[in-house]
Amino acid sequence: MSEKKQQVSRRQFLNYTLTGVGGFMAASMLAPMVRFAIDPVLTASTAGEMQAVVDVSEITTDPQRFDWTVEQVDAWYTSDVTHSAWVYKNENDEIVPLSPTCTHLGCSVSWAGNEDYPDQFYCPCHDGRYQKDGTNVADTPPPAPLALYEYEVRDGTLYLGQPVPRGGV
């Protein structure tokens, strides 16, 4: 290898040429297939649109559950999917739209879902509890507060976007 003039033998030259041409052919064959397969990773998410949920006048200081239905397009399959939120107005007259998904293992919580805790959210799966503002009660399974929906009020109607998780312990 330390010769000053490195000779490329005919055999080596043909080897390189063959490898190069073969590699080029293999790459041009595989490139469209790989791009085809990884397409879902590179496609921008279409979620994030705000959905009209309820008239603001219906929101009270007690959490109420409101449902709304979204047309979900899943590639070649279109279906109606129902989402829900627990919404109330706090003492500063701010709207608090909480996600009903328990942060423990994803069951649905409900306000006053257990007679023993009439002013807490209760998850029936593992007795998880949350305060009215969504904070998880210590010594119950949930590790984090309930997620809060992005929201905005337009023309007296509440619009909700995606639930934003709040950090936990």
Binding site for other proteins (CB under 8 A): 29-30, 32-33, 35-37, 39, 42, 75-77
Residue 82, Ramachandran bin (φ over 0: left; ψ between -120 and 50: alpha; else beta): beta
Q: How near is the Cβ of 131 to other proteins at its closest, in Å?
A: 45
Contact 125/107 with Cβ under 8 angstroms? yes
Tell the smallest beta-carbon distance from residue 25 to other proteins (Å): 9
CB nearer other proteins, residue 15 or residue 60? 15
Classify strands 121-123 and 110-111 as parallel, antiparallel or unpaired.
Answer: antiparallel
For other proteins, the closer of residues 22 and 143 by Cβ is: 22
**Structure-token match 């595989």, residue found:** 30
Helix H segments across 38-168?
39-42
Shorter beta-carbon distance to other proteins: residue 47 or 169 = 47
76 versus 116: smaller Cβ distance to other proteins: 76
Tell me the closest approach of the beta carbon of residue 24 to other proteins, in angstroms. 14
Q: How far is the CB of 33 from other proteins (least distance, A)?
A: 4
**Under 8 Å CB-to-CB from 133, ≥6 apart: which residues?**
90, 96, 145
Gap between the Cα atoms of 58 and 130, Å rounded = 23
Q: How far is CA 46 from the centre of its chain?
A: 12
Contact 109, 96 (CB under 8 A): no
Q: Is 32 or 167 the residue whose CB approaches other proteins more closely?
A: 32
Residue in the block written with tokens 């052919």:
25
In the complex, minimum distance from the CB of residue 30 to other proteins, in angstroms, rounded to a whole number: 7
Q: Please give the single-letter amino acid code of residue 54.
A: V
